[in-house]
């Protein structure tokens, strides 16, 4: 029988998969997808919490996080398109004009 801790474990694993993706992927689109994965893994925790407690708050919070995630991706894709126009690439290794 699945318990809340299993949900938590899966979402923690997914969260860190996403985090590693952001850190080590070199393509901007993959990075944006990994960010989305991080946010949605947080939703999974809340889903588990909503299932195993008689509490409706987590469901509200999920909707809220979904909206924020949508905004985040919209802004990110806009920036990516702008970068594409200016630099003609989405490979983050080539963004070297500011030596970071």
Partner 1 sequence: MNAHILLPEIILSITAALVLIIEFLTPRRLQFTGTVTILGILLALFYDLSMFRNAGVGFFGMVKVGPFDRTFDLVFFIGAILLILLSFDYFVEISGEFYFFILTSLIAMMLLAKSIDLFMIFLSLETLSFSLLGLIGILKQKEFVAEASMKYYLLAAFSSAFFLFGIVLTYVVFQTTNISEISNKLFASGLTGIKPALIVTVVLILVGLAFKVAAIPFHMWTPDVYEGAPAPVVAFISAGPKAAGFAIILKIMLNGYQSHPELWSSIFAYLAVLTMFWGNLAALKTRNLKRMLAYSTIAHAGYVLVAVVSANQQAYAAIVFYMLSYTFMVFGAFSIISMLGDSHSNLEDYAGLSRTSPILAFMMAIFMISLTGIPTTSGFISKFYVFMSAAKTNHIWLVVFGFINGAISAYYYLRVVVFMYMMDTREELAIPYFPFLRSVMWIAVIFIFYLGLFPQKVFEIIISAL
Question: Which residues bind to partner 1, rule: CB under 8 A?
Answer: 8, 15, 18-19, 22, 28, 31, 35, 38-39, 42, 45-46, 49, 53, 55, 57-58, 61, 64-65, 68, 71-72, 75-76, 79-80, 82-83, 86-87, 95, 97-98, 100
Task: Give the nearest distance from C-beta 12 to partner 1 in angstroms.
Answer: 9
Tell me the C-alpha distance between 54 and 22, whole Å. Answer: 35
Tell me the C-alpha distance between 32 and 8, whole Å. Answer: 23
Selection from 37, 33, 30, 31 nearest residue 15 by Cα: 37
Task: Give the nearest distance from C-beta 85 to partner 1 in angstroms.
Answer: 8
**Do 19 and 28 contact (CB within 8 A), yes or no?**
no
Rank residues 1 and 85 by Cβ distance to partner 1 and give the closer one.
85
Task: Give the nearest distance from C-beta 40 to partner 1 in angstroms.
Answer: 10
Task: Give the nearest distance from C-beta 1 to partner 1 in angstroms.
Answer: 19
Nearest 5°: phi and psi at 14?
A: -60, -40
């Amino acid at each position: 029988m699945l318990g809340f801790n299993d949900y938590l474990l899966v979402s923690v694993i997914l969260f860190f998969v996403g985090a590693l993706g952001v850190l080590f992927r070199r393509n901007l689109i993959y990075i944006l997808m990994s960010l989305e994965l991080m946010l949605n893994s947080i939703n999974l925790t809340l889903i588990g919490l909503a299932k195993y407690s008689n509490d409706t708050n987590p469901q509200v919070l999920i909707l809220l996080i979904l909206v924020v995630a949508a905004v985040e991706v919209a802004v990110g894709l806009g920036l990516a398109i702008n970068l594409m126009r200016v630099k003609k690439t989405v490979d983050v290794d080539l963004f070297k004009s500011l030596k970071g």
